[in-house]
Structure 1
Amino acid sequence: MDTRERRPGRADPVSPRTTLRARDAFAITIGVVVGAGIFRTPSLIAGASGTEFVMLAAWLAGGALSIIGALCYAELATTYPQAGGDYTYLRRAYGPRLAFLFAWARVSVIQTGSIALLCFIVGDYMAQLYDLGPWSASLYAAAAIIVLTAVNWIGTRHGATVQGWLTVAEIVGVLVIVVAGLLFAPGDVAPVPGAGGDSAIGLILVFVLLTYGGWNEAVYVTSEVRDARTWMPRVLVLSLVAIAVLYLLVNLAYLRVLGLGGMAEHNAVAAELMGRVFGAPGAVLMSAIVIAAALTSANATMITGARSVYAVGRDFPTLGFIGRWDARSGTPRAAIVTQGVLALALVGLGAFARDGFEVAVEYTAPVFWLFFLLVGIALFVLRRREPDRPRPFRVPLYPVLPLLFCATSAYLLYSSLAYTGRGAVVGVAVLAVGGLLLLLLRPAIRTEEILP
């Protein structure tokens, strides 16, 4: 191995280059988290909350728990600044087979479920504009998946500038809700009180933390951020503080105009608020903003998800048909189609449920929290196994905060199984299929994946 010191300014042509600034990483984190969920999950959270205090406290608790998780990820990201993110941490702690199971879960459950739930948001808000009947949301969701799959199959390029402007548009849409609800709500608006009763805390936290979800995706760009060992902890924590404040203001606006009962009654809660404040034009405008935000997030998820499908095809020779890259279009076409079919199947499952979006959440949540728990445990495993490895950032109050992160993840794993329906069962069953594949298939270990 060449041990010569690398000269400044010389880049490894294989490794990712450090081209991102701290503010770019901050924008990416905000853009990933502040998607379309804040326009949809408040309705479900309000329905499970017995009082307004419980609902608002849950949003604050969700922000605090996310920050604790971010501190744990900050230690892992600065200690192992490879591009693989969770895959790298799991592989180091548990070996290649569990890491490949994570890759399978990301392909078949986590990313696919995210695409489906984002497209159900498109469907809920499109149904406000033009109702197609009882299956409106599912039909619009399926149409969105088909169109986005076709666009990505043909081949598309998404510049950082375009994505940045779309992120700005999403945040502007959230701020419009805050301003409309807190400053311009007419005096004759009568919020609907909640029904009272007990609160389903576990279910509430599943949806709250889903809405905060995505911040961990920031670790996938750690290797591309300048001075990442210094800046990534700050990026993760400060972005979540900003998001928590924004989410709290949005929910205060919803409560002021709609009340807890009104929030629970309306799936398209943002459009309902704008309609009450500004009339029909306001509702149409907000629906358009939410649809654009959801399509943007779904398309971005489809792009990254297809690359995950492609990677699994490369790692498992038996599944090599999805691990082919089409040079002409510059896209993994087979992976894109496979992902689209899986997302459509999930939409089909949701079509026969009372709430397709909720089914998509149920499908994704247990698997998501399982691997979050495993990453939290990996922090302890790697500290014990590699005690002399330099750790530029260490989780404060160790081991208390990592234990709290693991306990929260375990509780959310339990809650996502105990308080949800058949969607969770299907998600776990798909993960189990991946476990069977591990018994039958031998993963191919590539040279570049061997970690020092």
Structure 2
Amino acid sequence: MVKTDKQSTVPLKKVLGLVFGISIIVGSTIGAGIFRVPASIALLLPDKFLILSCWLITGLYILLCASSYAELTAMIPKAGGSFNYIKRAFGSYVGFAAGWFDFILNVGAPAFFCIVLGEYTVLLFPSLTGYSKEVGIGYLTVFTLLNLPGIRISSATQKVTSILKVIFLLVLVAGCFLAKPQLNPGTLIPSATVFNGTLIIAFFKAMQLILSTYDGWMAVSFFAEEDENPGKNIPRSYFIGAITVIILYLLINGAILYVLPLNAIAQSPLAASSAAAVAFGSWSSIGIDIIAIFVVISILNAYMLIPSRILLGLSREGYFIRQGAQLNKGGTPYFSLLLCYVITIVFILYNTFEQVFSLAAVMLTVVTAFSFASLLVLRKKEPDLPRPYKAWGYPYMTILALTVTLILFVGFAISDTRSFLIVAVLFILSYPFYRLLKRKNDI
């Protein structure tokens, strides 16, 4: 492990609990995707029941994944998340590669959220037209400064923004269910049929889109070391957080499907906005902008915290420079947080996060697959390791989660060969850097 100075050995503050665990999962999962994805799903599936079933089945898969992750996180509650389990199961180099994959797929997210926030803010305040990037950097700066003093303020911010997000979304749902449904104004979307296989293919494509809106369900793993009672709080956070997200997604989609006909949803880039127009009339535009801002603010705050925790964990293991492990008195990895702030500004100014996003799905399946595999390996390799929580239905459910993840990886590799090749090249090129750090830091 890397040799650290006195400042970098300041322990993380164990002040987080169940409410933060739930709020970080809800906050980092529910984002702008829920406003955009329903239109794409409506183009693929011809039936409202099928659409809701697809959302539910994908949610159940996430619950299946959460069970295995809960065992791993409660068993090894260290900052940085998945790479800790992968390193223990498969060795230092695989852990190194997984950790950097995890960082890359998370570090581009704040730039996207800041740009979205800038665009929605300009819609509310037209005088800012032409300055959306500057507004986005303003949001980034505010939330960096909020999170810099310490984890207590970060935790409070996440709780408040997540609660407000849920409240605003429930207001949208209630408004839709209380409104008079819009009549079908046009021709229905042609129905796919089971007999020619079109419906089955469409169902899996829909699941792939929906899965992207669930990204963030494992966020609590990055903060396990800061939890006051990880053995008890972590599993509860996973399950309550995942169930909360599943229920909200079903309610939001149910509300949209109730108030709008399928073809209207399919033709609307922002189906939630169209539903709000029916529910709230002339106030819908302003209302949906405000809801979107709070939805994205919550997820931005979460993703301001996550990459810095990954860098902290990597630095401790000697996988990054030692400054990345330095903490201030409030328990914030300030060097890592400020470095992520600079990277995000570059992404915002040059729109360089788009390629990172295209790589993220492939990288996510790699990291997740190795995480599930690490549970199987560690059960045999270290059977006596304390396990405050054990995955439900082990080993069958873990093997099922691993199998589904591998199928998704193959599907992404086929549909996005460019990103797959880039990830493969990055994996190969990472080895010389690993050897260099290994020699320098004696890991």
Match of 1:16 in 2: 12
- 1:69 Cα offset (Å): 0.6
> Do residues 111 (structure 1) and 106 (structure 2) align?
yes
> Do residues 365 (structure 1) and 358 (structure 2) align?
no
Whole-angstrom CA distance in 1 between matches of 2:117 and 2:421: 26
Equivalent runs, 1:190-339 vs 2, <5 Å: 190=184, 193-197=188-192, 198-199=198-199, 200-306=202-308, 308=310, 330-332=334-336, 333-339=338-344
5+ residue gaps, structure 1, are 1-12, 351-358
> Do residues 169 (structure 1) and 169 (structure 2) align?
no
Q: Which moved more, 1:440-449 or 1:155-164?
A: 440-449
Change (3 A) 1:395 1:282: same
The aligned amino acid for 2:271 is V
- 1:289 Cα offset (Å): 1.7
Contact kept, 8 Å, 1:35 with 1:170, in 2: the verdict is no
Match of 2:176 in 1: 181
Contact kept, 8 Å, 1:124 with 1:267, in 2: the verdict is no
- Cα deviation code 1:134-171 (max 9, x no counterpart): xx9xx887556544455567786454333322111110
Q: Which moved more, 1:121-130 or 1:94-103?
A: 121-130
> Do residues 49 (structure 1) and 54 (structure 2) align?
no
Match of 2:155 in 1: 160
Contact kept, 8 Å, 1:91 with 1:99, in 2: the verdict is yes
**TM-score for both structures, normalised by structure 2:** 0.80
Change (3 A) 1:119 1:229: same
Change (3 A) 1:309 1:443: farther
Whole-angstrom CA distance in 2 between matches of 1:449 and 1:219: 27
Contact kept, 8 Å, 2:182 with 2:278, in 1: the verdict is no
Superposition RMSD in Å: 3.7
The aligned amino acid for 1:53 is F
Q: Which of the numbers 58, 64, 74 marks the counterpart of 1:68? A: 64
Whole-angstrom CA distance in 1 between matches of 2:387 and 2:353: 45
- 1:67 Cα offset (Å): 0.7
DSSP-derived class of the 1:392 partner: coil
Whole-angstrom CA distance in 1 between matches of 2:323 and 2:141: 16
> Do residues 389 (structure 1) and 385 (structure 2) align?
yes
> Do residues 341 (structure 1) and 341 (structure 2) align?
no
Change (3 A) 1:304 1:28: closer
The aligned amino acid for 2:18 is A
Contact kept, 8 Å, 1:305 with 1:339, in 2: the verdict is no
- Relative CO higher for 1 or 2, CA cutoff 8 Å, sep ≥ 6? 2
**TM-score for both structures, normalised by structure 1:** 0.79
% same residue: 25
Contact kept, 8 Å, 1:191 with 1:260, in 2: the verdict is no
Match of 2:428 in 1: 435
Contact kept, 8 Å, 2:372 with 2:402, in 1: the verdict is yes
How many pairs are equivalent?
Answer: 417
Whole-angstrom CA distance in 2 between matches of 1:143 and 1:48: 37
- 1:74 Cα offset (Å): 1.3
Contact kept, 8 Å, 2:24 with 2:302, in 1: the verdict is no
Q: Which of the numbers 396, 400, 420 marks the counterpart of 2:396? A: 400
DSSP-derived class of the 1:215 partner: coil
Match of 1:80 in 2: 76
- Cα deviation code 1:292-336 (max 9, x no counterpart): 32144224313432554577678779x859959799x95554443
Contact kept, 8 Å, 2:109 with 2:353, in 1: the verdict is no
The aligned amino acid for 1:336 is Y
